[in-house]
Amino acid sequence: MKVLVAVKRVVDYNVKVRVKADGSDVDIANVKMSMNPFDEIAVEEAVRLKEAGKVSEVVAVSLGVKQCEETLRTALAMGADRAIHVETDAELQPLAVAKLLKAVAEKEQPQLMILGKQAIDDDANQTGQMVAALLGWGQGTFASKVDLAAETVDVTREVDGGLETVKLRLPAVVTTDLRLNEPRYVKLPNIMAAKKKPLDKLTVEALGVDVTPRLKTLKVAEPAKRSAGIKVANAAELVAKLKNEAKVL
């Protein structure tokens, strides 16, 4: 069984994001980049399934600029068998990403596709659902547990009321939540070994996908600074402030 895992290069989650002076976008010049944390969980789950003998091959795929190769090498160091890089400098919005992943899936014919539920840069939470719809596959989103069988996969997913378990016929798409697993620490020998693993190159043109943006960003701005909190002497004063100043009562 083959598993396809999508990984995205994003600003590292420890970095304080800055907005460009002209408000056109986020400033990523000289900023540390890394794999999207939810995608790390997706890679870890795929590798664990392989280590359990349920999967024969894990293929990592990334879409974007040349530096995405570094993200793919991290996935290979974590345990992926090979990688595919669809290189492009174009702005890739969720629908374009879904179409590219669909094209790669049709080429690779995986039985399971695992993605992070969302990327921490745009927080769109759309790609997994879109690619499942385009492929006509079942989908299990926000997975906190995955049980893979020969022809089906049981996905325990987090919903507002608690947990829900769905059984999907393969092939299927699964998106990962934070509580699915804890990604492993990548050791130096694995990083060195990853350099020898195959990394194939594809182009948007070769896949025949139109990645023209459908949405236009008008302005990017930091959230307004919050005023400092205050202490009140008693409940009556609190109610008065909520009613007269905050206007929420």
pLDDT tens-digit readout, 80-138 = 999 999 999 988 999 999 999 999 999 999 999 999 999 998 889 999 999 999 999 99
Q: Is residue 242 part of a domain?
A: no
Q: ω before 171 within 30° of 0 (cis)? A: yes
Q: Within a 10 A sphere around the Cβ of 86, how many other Cβ atoms? A: 24
| Residue 98 to residue 203: CA distance in whole angstroms | 15
Q: Is residue 247 part of a domain?
A: no
Q: Is residue 69 part of a domain?
A: yes
CB 46 within 8 A of CB 5: yes
Q: Is residue 24 part of a domain?
A: yes
Q: At residue 13, what is the residue type?
A: Y
Query: Band of the pLDDT at 21, cuts 50, 70, 90?
Result: confident
Query: Band of the pLDDT at 41, cuts 50, 70, 90?
Result: very high
pTM of the model: 0.86
Query: What residues contact 138, with CB distance under 8 A and at least 6 apart?
Result: 132, 166, 168, 169, 172, 173
Give the CATH number for residue 161: 3.40.50.620
Q: Is residue 128 part of a domain?
A: yes
Phi and psi at 166, nearest 5°, equal -120, 145
Instruction: Look at the chain and report how many structural domains it folds into.
Output: 1
Q: Is residue 89 part of a domain?
A: yes
Q: Is residue 196 part of a domain?
A: yes
Residue 127 is part of which domain span? 2-222
- Which has the higher per-residue pLDDT, 30 or 71? 71
Query: Band of the pLDDT at 203, cuts 50, 70, 90?
Result: very high
Residue 39's nearest CA partner among 2, 69, 10, 79 is 10
Q: Is residue 239 part of a domain?
A: no
Strand order through the sheet with 112-116: 162-169, 152-159, 138-148, 172-176, 112-116, 2-6, 57-64, 82-87, 199-203
Give the end-to-end CA distance of the chain in Å, rounded to a whole number: 58
| pLDDT number for residue 7 | 97
CB 115 within 8 A of CB 59: no
pLDDT tens-digit readout, 139-148 = 999 999 999 9
pLDDT tens-digit readout, 234-245 = 999 999 989 988
